[in-house]
Amino acid sequence: MKDVVDLDRYPLDRPHTPEWDALVQFAKDGLARDGLFNLPGFMRPEALRAVLTHVHPRMEAESFHHRRAHNIYFKDHVDGLPPDDPALRKVETANHTLCHDQMRGTALDQIYLWPAFATFLAAVMDKPQLYTMDDALAGLNVLEYRPGEALNWHFDRSIFTTTLLLQEASVGGLFEYAKDLRREDDPNHAGIADLLAGRITPTTLEQSAGTLNVFLGVNTAHRVSTVRPGTSRIVAVLSHYDTPGRAFSSEEQMGFFGRVA
């Protein structure tokens, strides 16, 4: 893995050493303070170039064009809100997707299946163990946002999301978020309506290609802004769970990937 991950800066191969413990603490501090942490240059430049060489032609020939209108909750109905409530305003998400079975044998596949990677994430999240998905399509996905496309405002279903930025957009395609916009005891529908109407200025996360990011998005609204003409944004999503055997249903696979494993 030393040719894939910068293990000098990020010693994931040396668990429970002082250097590893310091990295885990750095990550925990970022999550507690900002709801996220970044590891810039996590993937080595040579490995990143090899992954993009694999991804670019497959995006053109094999990717699934995912497009949907949705509200911030990804739900048709929300208790306590009438259908015309401004917190339920529809937005559009669009991207092109490659699935795990289209990334086998790549450096991304190596990272995702590397036990030390799951061990590090588990320590950061205070979990006894984390597992990759038992799904031929989900688990590791690569998403491209082309000019005119965006990942629009939403809350995550999973406690944390792990991404690795592979290519920055020339213009737009920025990760933006409104930290702790809601709480378990306060849905803050009025604040959500303000965000959707542009009355709240989100925080923009600066990232460069090769950066690993872990983000807590259950109560923090977030999006990738619309990509403008020029280079697209390409990002990998690596999903882990605290129970083994997790997989998408056939309906979820069809909805997200346009096919069933």
pLDDT of residue 76: 86
Q: Is residue 9 part of a domain?
A: no
Please state the domain count of the chain.
Answer: 1
Question: Is it the case that residue 92 has pLDDT exceeding 90?
Answer: yes
Mean of the per-residue pLDDT values for the chain? 97
* Band of residue 258 on the pLDDT scale cut at 50, 70, 90: very high
242: in domain: yes
Q: How far apart are CA 191 and CA 189, in angstroms?
A: 5
Q: Strand pairing partners for 253?
A: none
Check pLDDT > 90 for residue 216. yes
Residue 253 is part of a domain; what is its CATH number? Answer: 2.60.120.620
Q: Is residue 134 part of a domain?
A: yes
Q: Which residue has the tokens 């949705």?
A: 70
Residues above pLDDT 70, as percent of the chain = 100
The mean pLDDT value for 92-103 works out to 98
Distance, in Å, from the CA atom of 208 to the CA atom of 7, rounded to the nearest integer, reads: 18
Other beta carbons less than 10 A from residue 10's beta carbon: 19
Q: Does residue 143 contact residue 99 with C-beta atoms inside 8 Å?
A: no
**Domain membership flag for residue 61:** yes
Dist CA 128 CA 216 (whole Å)? 19
Q: What is the pLDDT of residue 80?
A: 87
| DSSP three-state, residue 169 | coil
The pair of structure tokens assigned to 171 is: 């213009």
Q: Is residue 230 part of a domain?
A: yes
Specify if 41 maps to a domain: yes
Q: Which domain holds residue 208?
A: 18-257
Q: Quick check: is 3 in a domain?
A: no
Instruction: Let me know if residue 6 belongs to a domain.
Output: no
